[in-house]
């Protein structure tokens, strides 16, 4: 019996400031995978432009529904790539405003809970150049498939935690649909 990473995995005991994150795409890869909640597998959805790689581990927060109807996206900052399917308990640090084909698709920034709190506790702890790299990546990563994206600004952990709470409440409200 397979665990459904979206529905059976908890959002996390210390939510909304610390959440479970499921890794779909390891840092440094140019292949895009998405979790298929019905088949319980990670499916290849496309390959990015050959020289473009994900600059950060990418995944989703279980038991959430973002405003675009998908699980809430999460960017997990870690020195090394995390394998596909890894579950990482993470602290919520910030959020990047993002619109994908007219739908709000915010990106939560998080760090594994074992990352030093004195080094990674707020958005301003990250180098401005790193935050710019992430924004630039999301501006161009869909150019090859001609999809329209709008990258906004970074916001602090308070706003990010609020978005996580709203996404979880949306999930709970719609749970009968998923049961």
SS3 for 41-104 is: EEEEEEECCCCCCCCCEEEEECCCCCCCCCCEEEEECCCCCCCCCCEEEEEEEEEEEEEECCEE
Enter the pTM of the model. Answer: 0.95
What is the per-residue pLDDT across 143-174, written as a single tens digit (0 to 9) for each? 888 889 999 999 999 999 999 999 999 999 99
* Count of Cβ atoms closer than 10 Å to residue 173 Cβ: 10
Residue listed under structure tokens 């665990």: 3
* Count of Cβ atoms closer than 10 Å to residue 94 Cβ: 24
What is the per-residue pLDDT across 24-64, written as a single tens digit (0 to 9) for each? 999 999 999 999 999 999 999 999 987 899 999 999 999 99
Q: Which fold, 18-174?
A: Inorganic Pyrophosphatase (3.90.80)
């Amino acid at each position: 019996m397979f665990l459904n990473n979206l529905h059976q995995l908890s959002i996390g005991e210390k939510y909304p400031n610390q959440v479970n994150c499921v890794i779909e795409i390891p840092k440094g890869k140019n292949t895009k995978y998405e979790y298929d909640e019905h088949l319980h597998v990670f499916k290849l959805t496309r390959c990015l432009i050959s020289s473009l790689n994900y600059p950060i581990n990418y995944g989703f927060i279980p038991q959430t529904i973002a405003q675009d109807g998908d699980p809430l996206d999460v960017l997990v900052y870690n020195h090394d790539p995390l394998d596909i399917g890894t579950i990482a308990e993470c602290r919520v640090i910030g959020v990047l405003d993002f619109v994908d084909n007219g739908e709000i698709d915010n990106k939560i920034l998080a760090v594994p809970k074992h990352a030093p709190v004195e080094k990674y506790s707020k958005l301003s702890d990250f180098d401005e150049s790193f935050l710019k790299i992430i924004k630039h990546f999301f501006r161009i990563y869909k150019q090859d498939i001609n999809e329209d994206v709008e990258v906004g600004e970074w916001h602090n952990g308070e706003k990010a935690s609020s978005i996580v709470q709203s996404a979880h409440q949306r999930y709970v409200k719609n749970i009968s649909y998923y049961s």
